[in-house]
Amino acid sequence: MTEQLVTWFQGLFSDGIGGEIIAFLASLLPVIECRGGMIIAKGFEIPFIKAFLLCYLGNMLPLPFIILFIKKIFAFMRKHNILTGFIEKLEGKTAKNQDKVMKYKQWGLLLFIAIPLPGTGGWTGSLFAALLNIDFKKALPIVALGVFIADIIMSVLTYGTGAIFGF
């Protein structure tokens, strides 16, 4: 599976772009995020610390912008009838999970982002924070910590504890 993912990304960037850049760019993407980025980094045999930092920074880069601007982007898209059904689906998912996240407040959002399951992560957590009107100054540290924890979990799963702790 890892080899197929690495080969697919190599095919996208056939001009010889480095594995570090591919892992970073993959970590920028929704759904893939640092979870997929760490797998790709391992496939390219990128050393653990470098992979961790590349994937974390790649995952974090778009998230402040999502928290700050997604509501304005959605309003613009609605006004111009662009992907309105998709927006409603995202907002519906947020409303459906609102009680679960808000029941535990910041801890709920943190756990939602940190646990690497399908449909969770920094992108979705940032969307939740914005749509639930969580203040940017409160939301960003929670999102950053959640992504950090998810990156640690994925590091253990992809690189193993021996590689991480140097034994």
Per-residue pLDDT tens, the chain, 167 aa: give them: 556 666 666 666 555 678 999 999 999 999 899 999 999 999 999 999 999 999 999 999 999 999 999 999 999 999 999 999 999 988 888 888 777 777 777 888 999 899 988 888 999 999 989 988 899 999 999 999 999 999 999 999 999 876 666 65
Cα gap 2→89, rounded to integer Å? 31
- Domain membership of residue 158 (yes or no) is no
Q: Residues 134, 71: one domain?
A: yes
Q: Residues 73, 126: one domain?
A: yes
- Domain membership of residue 37 (yes or no) is yes
**Best CA proximity match to 126, nearest among 138, 79, 117, 81:** 138
**What's the domain range around 91?**
63-149
Tally the domains of the chain.
2
Q: Residues 84, 128: one domain?
A: yes
- Domain membership of residue 165 (yes or no) is no
- Domain membership of residue 163 (yes or no) is no
Q: Residues 89, 128: one domain?
A: yes
- Domain membership of residue 155 (yes or no) is no
Tokens of 39: 């797998």
Q: Residues 52, 88: one domain?
A: no
Q: Residues 106, 70: one domain?
A: yes
Q: Residues 104, 31: one domain?
A: no
Q: Residues 87, 125: one domain?
A: yes
Reported pTM: 0.84
Q: Residues 8, 82: one domain?
A: no
Residues 58 and 37: beta-carbon distance below 8 Å: yes
- Domain membership of residue 103 (yes or no) is yes
Q: Residues 93, 132: one domain?
A: yes
Tokens of 84: 């309105």
What sign does the CA torsion over 106, 108, 111, 112 have? Answer: negative
| DSSP letters spanning the chain | -HHHHHHHHHHHTTTT--HHHHHHHHHHSTTTHHHHHHHHHHHTT--HHHHHHHHHHHHHTTHHHHHHHHHHHHHHHHHTTSSHHHHHHHHHHHHHHHHHHHHTHHHHHHHHHHS--TT-SHHHHHHHHHHTT--HHHHHHHHHHHHHHHHHHHHHHHHHHHHHHT-
Q: Residues 123, 142: one domain?
A: yes
